[in-house]
Amino acid sequence: MKDNKGFTLVELMLVVIIIGALVAMVLPRLTGRSEQARTQVAKADISANIATALKLYEMDNGKFPTTEEGLNALLNKPASSVNWNGPYLEKTPLDPWGRPYQYKCPGTHKDYDLYSLGADAIEGTKDDVTNWE
């Protein structure tokens, strides 16, 4: 008799079935995680990254950029700037969905309102990420 050193069809089928069962158990847990990750990135940008740049701008100039100047004032010196020491950011900040962050100053909720429209790109819906909630 020859000494066969391969796997039988039954053994290969068992491995495929086991892998399929593992994928069936893990896949539902991973669904929706990418949207959660995007929301967390937007929260970090709003509460830390862009907020820090805005605070530095305010320390240098005595006020936050106006709504008209927008976040562009963190990259390029606006005409109203007194002591601009920027750029305060390396590039124009985009939210994780690829759209610009929304900025209003004076804000209706805080000194300035900074927010992302979220996945649906509609203002005022529950998926918006804001600096006031």
* Dist CA 29 CA 26 (whole Å): 5
CA pair distance 20, 15, nearest whole angstrom = 9
105: its two tokens: 């100053």
Going residue by residue through the chain, which has 133 residues, state the pLDDT in tens, using 9 for 90 and above: 566 677 787 888 888 888 888 887 777 666 667 788 889 999 999 999 999 999 999 999 999 999 999 999 999 999 888 899 989 999 989 999 999 999 999 999 999 999 999 989 888 889 899 998 8
Q: Give 41-83 as a DSSP string.
A: HHHHIIIIIHHHHHHHHHHHHSSPPPTTTGGGGGTS--TT-SS
Distance, CA of 97 to CA of 103 (rounded, Å): 16
Q: What's the confidence (pLDDT) of residue 71?
A: 95
Q: Does the structural domain 34-130 have CATH classification 3.30.700.10? A: yes
Question: 0.95 exceeded by the pTM?
Answer: no
Looking at residue 3, its pLDDT comes to 66
Show me where the domains of the chain are located. 34-130
